[in-house]
């Protein structure tokens, strides 16, 4: 009998300790989730298919003048773009794609990509350094640089495009670019946003455990 | 011949009754231990079921024995020259309401996408579709009519029609049968799925002339068609199982008094398992539950880790594209097709986050079934059945505890748990099983507190109660309002005022947080972030004109007219269930029970609540010591909660599902109110004596009525429609 009573007292002691501790643990999780969110990428496929009757066009990159991709991000910082790059059989070693980002007239992000590192026709993710600044009406200027051999316009790497137009996006070609009519780059626009994976559980459990803690018998507090 | 068979049936029936009586006598005299009694009961039930199938349902096959007769097409058995005529014509057929609506919905979705993306979206070209000036949709079809005169009358049980040419769309055929130039039966219609290229019609009549008209938008030739008339002896497994379970239920009611009286939760488990098993086996892979494909997609994805392998069959299940069957012969073809396309070597590969979002956790039981089926290398149909079985078992376990923990109202909880709507959803690919079962258990734990006002709320009761309400409301957070009744527990239930207030405020915040998540959901990881986060785009796209912001603005600018609309719609639905001839008990899109069933079950439940059973000194719960009813205040609060939650459910459907400013509220279904049944019934709890009826009689009535109601619905809606 005495042992049974002792066991009960011990169990009660543990319960009295566990629930308040669980409440605090979940509260810490709640606050922690808010302070340290998880960031994920948002991919928006833009202009990936041709309209009926349209065919894909290739826009060769130039060493002298950029192809400009103008995008209105509508206030969201843009993390990068994903563009289809064709190597067209040329030796691309040492060919560097420079894609700087401008917000208004100010250059906000300087970026480089080694064209030889990707596969032919691959939709390459081109992240923007300092992406927090890449917001609003931005312009991505894409052109070639590097110490590689200068290739003819037929052999230089080219970007995939079609003739479909999208709102808030414009592709400006350099003078002499071999493309008929108005073209738009094919690809995806990458944004980022915070997710709070444990926030929902942590905040719900905090209040469940707090409510449960209030049913415990703490010595001397009985009404 | 018939007299002889009838005589045999009579003899068998008399022998069965004698055996039952002997069994009863033996049992009463405690001649047999209970396992032996169970075994004897099972053997008697199984034998009777098999005999009933062979002697009653297969009688025409025995009486009019004949070999199958196939004709036309490549393997034609044209041994009856001059008896065929074939006639081809072109015709226009009006699309049914559902097809026409799906075209309108598709057009509307395209418009929304155009507005969102700022790009024109292409419309799918369908040359066979004709839109008339009055807005109705028609389809151009080719009609091929075969007129077949048989040399002598024969009994045709099944007409098996197969097409050798490839079909691009669904088509169908009608069969008119004649005997001595008189109509032998009403015209029978049958669909042909392009995936199986076969349609098997149940005729079941004596005929000497058939007229078969095939309607299709495709250009098929008469020589591509093969049809077979058959009358084979083929015992039906589903029917045998059904008769067996009916007999077993009768045996439990008559013979097993102890479990009915003292272990109602075990009887519930048996009844729910029987009904669920019949539903799972009978429905197979037919997608007949509410939004089953949406749930299937989520559960299937959840059964994988980060890498998802979607087979062609799974993809069709996720897109509601699986072929349907209507009899065992079609079922075999459908399952063969599904297995051929359930090959992981050419599955579509996708990826997902390993983190499972809150709203997807309700699919764990289903996902476990899909995972297990994959691990065991089961066929596609068996994997789907296993997923449904896991769902059903989870429902049974949770409701088992709800009945066990219910005090004086066990039979009411059992009735609610055995509601045809709930059992059907538990045996389907649906998360509503979680909603119904966990909220039922939560309500039992909550109302137990009201019925024991002098006992303190303990952590081991409060923790499962809150968890049940939270889990039950994960997918439909509106139901968390039900736990609001906790705030009205008396002072005596708590140890001191501080603990009472902190506890109640915590519960209030918990409710607030779950409701807040409806309006401000946590961001999802994916490209639809903007769509989910943008309130302006919210609204169910299945209905043309639905817009959350638009509807909220409409309600706020017309509060009085909306209140009138809400009350009139609530009243009209209630009226339709009570007097309007609409049956409440439904098996998804399969069908519903007659209104009489709603009345019978409703009246019995209310009577059982009002009348108190005879006291039993051995009763597990001595409820006589506690309060026997909720009291006037708690009753009023419960009614208010039920009414308020009902109004919220209606309003949520008006806001998210109905076109802006519509004079009707769309999408509200009776199943949404299932979680409210137990609280509503508990308002009737009274202390009037129920004469001589003790716990056993009450439980027999409650359990027996619900099980038999389900069994009768299964016979009428599942076995007769999909399994004969």
**Region A60-69 average pLDDT:** 87
DSSP string, B686-723: --EE-TT--HHHHHHHHHHHHHHHHHHHIIIIIIHHH-
> Which of A45, A166, A208 shows the shortest C-beta gap to B466?
A208
Please, are residues B235 and B182 in contact by the beta-carbon 8 Å criterion? Answer: no
Nearest to B529 by CA among A135, A76, A140: A76
C-alpha distance across the termini of chain B, in Å: 25
Element (H, E) at B65: none
Q: What are the pLDDT digits (tens) for B111-154?
A: 777 776 666 666 766 777 888 888 888 888 888 888 888 888 88
Size of interface A-B (CB pairs under 8 A): 98
Q: Which residues of B touch A194 (CB under 8 A)?
A: 523
The Cα–Cα gap between B703 and B248 comes to: 13
CA distance A146 to chain B (A): 35
The Cα–Cα gap between B550 and B463 comes to: 40
Kindly provide the ipTM of the predicted complex, given to two decimals.
0.82
The Cα–Cα gap between B7 and B5 comes to: 5
Nearest to A59 by CA among A175, A157, A168: A157
Residue B466 contacts A where some CB pair is shorter than 8 Å: yes
Please, are residues B511 and B484 in contact by the beta-carbon 8 Å criterion? Answer: yes
Q: Which residues of A touch B470 (CB under 8 A)?
A: 204, 208
The Cα–Cα gap between B111 and B546 comes to: 13
CA distance A153 to chain B (A): 32
Q: What is the pLDDT of residue A223?
A: 42
Q: What are the pLDDT digits (tens) for A76-102?
A: 899 999 999 998 877 788 889 999 999
How would you classify the pairing of strands B129-131 and B137-163?
A: antiparallel
Q: Identify which of A105-114, B56-65, B616-625 has the greatest average pLDDT.
A: A105-114
Q: What share of chain A is helix, strand, coil (3-state, %, to 5)?
A: 25, 35, 40
**Region B253-278 average pLDDT:** 92
The chain B residue lying nearest A196, using CA atoms, is: B522
Residue B527 contacts A where some CB pair is shorter than 8 Å: yes
The Cα–Cα gap between A81 and A79 comes to: 7
Look at residue B74 and tell me whether its pLDDT is greater than 50: no
Q: What is the pLDDT of residue B622?
A: 47
Residue B221 contacts A where some CB pair is shorter than 8 Å: no
The Cα–Cα gap between B577 and B575 comes to: 5
Residue B314 contacts A where some CB pair is shorter than 8 Å: no
Put simply, the answer to whether A212 touches B517 (Cβ < 8 Å) is no
Put simply, the answer to whether B510 touches A201 (Cβ < 8 Å) is no
> Which of A45, A168, A214 shows the shortest C-beta gap to B502?
A214
Nearest to A99 by CA among A75, A67, A76: A67
Nearest to B459 by CA among B436, B489, B426, B493: B493
Q: B202 — alpha (psi -120 to 50), left (phi > 0) or beta? A: beta
Which of B97-111, B242-256, B424-438, B618-632 is predicted least confidently?
B618-632
The Cα–Cα gap between B319 and B568 comes to: 36
> Which of A51, A164, A196 shows the shortest C-beta gap to B522?
A196
Please, are residues B419 and B681 in contact by the beta-carbon 8 Å criterion? Answer: no
Please, are residues B604 and B702 in contact by the beta-carbon 8 Å criterion? Answer: yes
How would you classify the pairing of strands A112-114 and A169-172?
A: unpaired
CA distance B119 to chain A (A): 6
The Cα–Cα gap between B108 and B659 comes to: 12
**Region B281-306 average pLDDT:** 94
The Cα–Cα gap between B392 and B665 comes to: 32
Put simply, the answer to whether B495 touches A199 (Cβ < 8 Å) is no
CA B319 to the chain's CA centroid: 19
Residue B124 contacts A where some CB pair is shorter than 8 Å: no
Q: Identify which of A109-123, B32-46, B144-158, B697-711 has the greatest average pLDDT.
A: B697-711
User: Can you state the angle between helices B264-283 and B380-405, rounded to 10 degrees?
Assistant: 160
Instruction: State whether residue B210 is helix, strand or coil.
Output: strand
Put simply, the answer to whether A212 touches B459 (Cβ < 8 Å) is yes
Per the prediction, chain A carries an average pLDDT of: 84
The Cα–Cα gap between B32 and B24 comes to: 10
Q: What share of chain B is helix, strand, coil (3-state, %, to 5)?
A: 55, 15, 30
Q: A94 — alpha (psi -120 to 50), left (phi > 0) or beta? A: left
Domain A39-194 is found in CATH 1.10.3470: no
Q: What is the pLDDT of residue B226?
A: 86
**Region A136-143 average pLDDT:** 91
The share of chain A scoring above pLDDT 70, in percent, equals 89
> Which of B117, B355, B499 shows the shortest C-beta gap to A197?
B355
Look at residue B389 and tell me whether its pLDDT is greater than 90: yes
Q: Which residues of B touch A164 (CB under 8 A)?
A: 119
Look at residue B75 and tell me whether its pLDDT is greater than 50: no
Joined together, the tokens standing for residue B492 give 């005596």
Q: Which residues of A touch B498 (CB under 8 A)?
A: 221
Please, are residues B285 and B381 in contact by the beta-carbon 8 Å criterion? Answer: yes
Which domains, ranges and CATH numbers included, belong to chain B? 69-230 (2.60.120.260), 531-692 (no CATH)
DSSP B193: B
Which of A69-73, A119-123, B526-530, B703-707 is predicted least confidently?
B526-530
**Region B183-197 average pLDDT:** 89
pLDDT band at B22 (very low <50, low <70, confident <90, very high): low
CA distance A168 to chain B (A): 9
**In degrees rounded to 5, what are phi and psi of residue A53?**
95, -15
The Cα–Cα gap between B539 and B657 comes to: 6
CA distance B645 to chain A (A): 21
Q: Identify which of A191-195, B437-441, B545-549 has the greatest average pLDDT.
A: B437-441
**Region B439-457 average pLDDT:** 93
**In degrees rounded to 5, what are phi and psi of residue A30?**
-60, -50
CA B349 to the chain's CA centroid: 31
Interface with B, mutate which of A215, A217, A221 (most B CBs under 10 A): A215
Please, are residues A142 and A82 in contact by the beta-carbon 8 Å criterion? Answer: no
The chain B residue lying nearest A74, using CA atoms, is: B530
CA distance A152 to chain B (A): 36
User: In the structure, how many helices (H) and strands (E) does chain A have?
Assistant: 2, 13
Q: What is the pLDDT of residue B41?
A: 84
**Region A8-13 average pLDDT:** 76
Nearest to B569 by CA among B507, B637, B646: B646
Q: Which residues of A touch B525 (CB under 8 A)?
A: 40, 195
Q: What is the pLDDT of residue B76?
A: 47
Higher-confidence residue: B338 or B661?
B338
Half-sphere exposure of B574 (CA within 13 A, CB side): 11
Residues forming a β-bridge with B129 = B139
CA distance A46 to chain B (A): 9
User: Can you state the angle between helices B559-578 and B632-657, rounded to 10 degrees?
Assistant: 110
Put simply, the answer to whether A204 touches B527 (Cβ < 8 Å) is no
Put simply, the answer to whether A212 touches B500 (Cβ < 8 Å) is no
Q: What is the pLDDT of residue B530?
A: 55
The Cα–Cα gap between B139 and B141 comes to: 6
CA distance B533 to chain A (A): 11
Nearest to A125 by CA among A43, A39, A38: A43
Please, are residues B599 and B580 in contact by the beta-carbon 8 Å criterion? Answer: no
Sign for the CA dihedral angle at B350, B351, B357, B363 comes to positive
**Region A119-133 average pLDDT:** 91
Sign for the CA dihedral angle at B720, B722, B723, B724 comes to positive
């Amino acid at each position: 009998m005495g042992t049974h009573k002792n066991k009960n007292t011990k169990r009660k002691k543990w319960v009295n300790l566990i629930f308040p501790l669980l409440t605090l643990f979940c509260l810490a999780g709640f606050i922690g989730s808010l302070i340290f969110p998880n960031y994920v990428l948002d991919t928006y496929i833009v202009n990936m298919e041709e309209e009926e009757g349209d065919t894909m066009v290739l826009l060769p990159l130039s060493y002298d003048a950029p192809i400009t991709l103008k995008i209105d991000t509508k206030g969201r910082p843009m993390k990068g773009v994903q563009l289809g790059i064709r190597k067209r059989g040329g030796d691309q070693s040492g060919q560097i794609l420079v894609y700087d980002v401008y917000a208004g007239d100010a250059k906000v992000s300087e970026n480089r990509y080694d064209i030889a590192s990707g596969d032919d026709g691959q939709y390459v993710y081109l992240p923007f350094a300092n992406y927090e600044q890449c917001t609003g009406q931005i312009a991505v200027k894409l052109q070639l640089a590097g110490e590689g051999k200068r290739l003819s316009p037929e052999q230089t790497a080219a970007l995939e495009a079609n003739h479909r137009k999208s709102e808030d996006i414009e592709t400006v070609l350099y003078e002499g670019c071999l493309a008929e009519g108005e073209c738009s780059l094919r690809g995806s626009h990458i944004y980022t946003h915070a997710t709070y994976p444990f926030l929902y559980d942590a905040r719900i459990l905090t209040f469940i455990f707090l409510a449960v803690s209030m049913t415990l018998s703490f010595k001397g507090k009985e009404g | 011949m018939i007299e002889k068979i009838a005589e045999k049936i009579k003899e068998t029936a008399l022998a069965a009754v004698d055996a039952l009586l002997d069994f009863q006598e033996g049992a009463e005299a405690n001649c047999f231990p209970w396992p032996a009694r169970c075994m004897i009961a099972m053997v008697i039930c199984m034998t009777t079921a098999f005999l009933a199938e062979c002697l009653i349902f297969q009688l025409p096959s025995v009486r009019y024995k004949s070999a199958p007769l196939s004709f036309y097409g490549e393997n034609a058995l044209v041994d009856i020259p001059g008896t065929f005529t074939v006639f081809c014509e072109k015709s226009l057929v009006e699309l049914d309401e559902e097809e026409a609506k799906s075209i309108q919905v598709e057009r509307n979705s395209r418009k929304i996408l155009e507005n969102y993306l700022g790009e024109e979206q292409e419309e799918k070209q369908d040359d066979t579709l004709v839109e008339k000036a009055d807005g109705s949709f028609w389809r151009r079809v080719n009609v091929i009519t075969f007129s077949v005169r048989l040399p002598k009358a024969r009994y045709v049980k099944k007409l098996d029609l197969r097409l050798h040419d490839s079909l691009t769309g669904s088509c169908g055929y009608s069969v008119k049968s004649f005997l001595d130039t008189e109509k032998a039966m009403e015209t029978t219609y049958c669909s042909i799925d392009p995936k199986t290229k076969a349609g098997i019609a149940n005729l079941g009549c004596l005929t000497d002339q058939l007229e078969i008209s095939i309607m299709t938008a495709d250009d098929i030739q008469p020589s591509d068609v093969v049809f077979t008339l058959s009358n084979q002896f083929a015992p039906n497994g589903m029917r045998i199982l059904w008769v067996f379970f009916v007999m077993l239920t009768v045996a439990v009611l008559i013979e097993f008094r102890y479990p009915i009286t003292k272990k109602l939760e075990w009887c519930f488990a048996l009844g729910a398992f029987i009904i669920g098993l019949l539903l799972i086996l009978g429905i197979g892979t037919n997608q007949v539950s509410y939004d089953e494909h949406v749930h299937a997609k989520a559960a299937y994805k959840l059964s994988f880790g980060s890498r998802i392998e979607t087979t062609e069959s799974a993809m069709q299940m996720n897109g509601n594209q699986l072929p349907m069957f209507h009899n065992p012969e079609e079922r075999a073809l459908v399952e063969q097709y599904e297995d051929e396309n359930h090959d992981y070597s050419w599955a579509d590969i996708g990826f997902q986050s390993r983190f499972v979002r809150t709203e997807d956790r309700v699919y764990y039981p289903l996902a476990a079934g899909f995972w297990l089926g994959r691990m065991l290398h089961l066929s596609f149909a068996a994997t789907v059945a296993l997923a449904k079985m896991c769902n059903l078992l989870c429902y049974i376990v949770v409701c088992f505890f709800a009945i066990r923990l219910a005090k004086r109202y066990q039979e009411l909880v059992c009735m609610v748990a055995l509601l045809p709507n709930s059992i059907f959803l538990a045996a389907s690919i649906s998360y509503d099983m979680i909603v119904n079962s966990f909220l039922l258990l939560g309500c039992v734990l909550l109302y137990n507190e009201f019925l024991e006002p002098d006992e303190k709320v303990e952590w081991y009761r409060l923790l499962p109660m809150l968890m049940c309400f939270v889990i039950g409301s994960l997918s439909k957070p509106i139901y968390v309002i039900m736990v609001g009744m906790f705030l009205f527990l008396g002072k005596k239930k708590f140890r001191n005022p501080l603990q009472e207030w902190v506890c109640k405020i915590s519960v209030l915040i918990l409710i607030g947080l779950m409701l807040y998540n409806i309006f401000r959901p946590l961001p999802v990881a994916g490209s639809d972030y903007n769509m989910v986060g943008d309130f302006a785009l919210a609204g169910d796209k299945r209905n043309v004109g639905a817009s959350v912001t638009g509807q909220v603005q409409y309600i706020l600018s017309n509060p009085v007219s909306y209140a009138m609309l809400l009350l009139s719609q609530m009243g009209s639905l209630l009226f339709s269930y009570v007097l309007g001839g609409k049956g409440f008990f439904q098996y998804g899109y399969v069908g519903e029970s007659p209104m009489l069933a709603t009345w019978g079950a409703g009246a019995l439940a209310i009577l059982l609540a009002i009348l108190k059973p005879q006291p039993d000194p051995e009763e597990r719960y001595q409820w006589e010591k506690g309060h026997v009813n909720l009291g006037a205040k708690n009753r009023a609060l419960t009614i208010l909660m039920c009414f308020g939650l009902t109004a919220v459910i209606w309003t949520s459907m008006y806001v998210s599902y109905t076109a802006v400013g519509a004079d009707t509220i769309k999408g509200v279904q009776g199943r949404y109110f299932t979680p409210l049944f137990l609280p509503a019934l508990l308002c009737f709890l009274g202390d009037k004596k129920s004469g001589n009826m003790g716990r056993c009689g009450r439980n027999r009535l409650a359990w027996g009525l619900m099980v038999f109601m389900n069994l009768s619905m299964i016979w009428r809606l599942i076995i007769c429609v999909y399994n004969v």
